[in-house]
Amino acid sequence: MPTLADILARLAAVPTTAALLGLAATASLLIIAADWRGSVLALAAQYLLAGLLLTRVIRPEIAMIKTLIGAMICLVLYVTARRVGWEYLSRAADERPSRFLLALTSGTPFRIMAALMALSLAYTAALRAPLSNVPIEVTFGVFTLGMMGVFNIALADEPLKGGMGLLTVITGFELYYSSIEQSLTVVGLLGVVNFMIALAMSYLTTAQATPLPAEESSSGPDSYQGAGIVPPGQGAL
């Protein structure tokens, strides 16, 4: 059975360019994806790839801890999204559009354009203002995640999607900050901040999916679907 050191050594062998392309792809997917499963999966992959890039600037053990925190965050978001049936959050059951219509109405072409624009902005910024104390590939990673995250927040209309953008920004910042500050206390507190953001997002998402008092009084058991809540005892999958 491979040891932790073996796993880290194998992961460190992944080419930096591949990790960077992967980060750009996952961050783009977070902007574009309308389905919660795709978004949570993209976020998990993003944490893994960011961890790989981090091994270039900090001790692999600390990079591993950050990746594990990311995995825990994804777990929290997965449970939350599954619970509230996020993709249909604001639509009543009879108003649910077809897949084709959903792709159009959620502005997928616009989101693709926005992701491409963020990517080009990040690329230009990384070339024109490279960060000191970090390798150029990490600079690309930082700007890509930062820009994509900000675009994601700006385009989001509810806490779960926007929160993923916020977590993307913080991940990008951590890529840079980990190379200049390696205190374990700071690493620990940043981990707490990340996890707290995930919990707050989870709380806000649940609160948003809960019907308003006026709606509650006028609706029966069917209102679970309309509010995007999975009825007790029924999974979303």
Burial of 63 (0-12, 13-18, 19+ CB in 10 A): buried
CA dist., res. 84 & res. 161, Å (int) = 13
Residue 200 in contact with other proteins, rule: CB under 8 A? yes
Please state the closest distance from residue 227 (CB atom) to other proteins, in A: 8
Burial of 41 (0-12, 13-18, 19+ CB in 10 A): middle
Give the binding-site size for other proteins (rule: CB under 8 A). 33
Please state the closest distance from residue 143 (CB atom) to other proteins, in A: 13
Please state the closest distance from residue 196 (CB atom) to other proteins, in A: 4
Please state the closest distance from residue 138 (CB atom) to other proteins, in A: 15
Sign of the alpha-carbon torsion through 16, 22, 23, 28? positive
Residue 181 in contact with other proteins, rule: CB under 8 A? yes
Which residues between 14 and 73 bind other proteins (CB under 8 A)?
none
What separation in angstroms does the CA of 95 have from each of 89, 115, 116, 218, 234? 11, 28, 31, 18, 21
Per DSSP, the chain holds a count of helices (H) and strands (E) of 11, 0
Residue 207 in contact with other proteins, rule: CB under 8 A? yes
Q: Which range touches other proteins (CB under 8 A), out of 21-29, 36-44, 112-120, 211-219?
A: 211-219
Give residues with Cβ within 8 angstroms of 225, minimum separation 6.
88, 92, 93, 231
Residue 231 in contact with other proteins, rule: CB under 8 A? no
CA dist., res. 7 & res. 54, Å (int) = 15
Q: Which range touches other proteins (CB under 8 A), out of 5-13, 38-46, 121-129, 181-189?
A: 181-189
Residue 210 in contact with other proteins, rule: CB under 8 A? yes
Please state the closest distance from residue 200 (CB atom) to other proteins, in A: 5
Residue 211 in contact with other proteins, rule: CB under 8 A? yes
Please state the closest distance from residue 5 (CB atom) to other proteins, in A: 27
Q: Could you identify the residue written with the tokens 């190379």?
A: 179
Strand, helix or coil at 59? Answer: coil
Strand, helix or coil at 97? Answer: coil
Which residues between 138 and 157 bind other proteins (CB under 8 A)?
153
Please state the closest distance from residue 100 (CB atom) to other proteins, in A: 29
Site string for other proteins, 156-175 (x = CB under 8 A): --xx--xx--x--xx--x--
CA dist., res. 83 & res. 80, Å (int) = 5
Q: What is the binding site for other proteins (CB under 8 A)?
A: 153, 158-159, 162-163, 166, 169-170, 173, 177, 180-181, 185-186, 189-190, 192-193, 196-197, 199-201, 203-205, 207-208, 210-213, 215
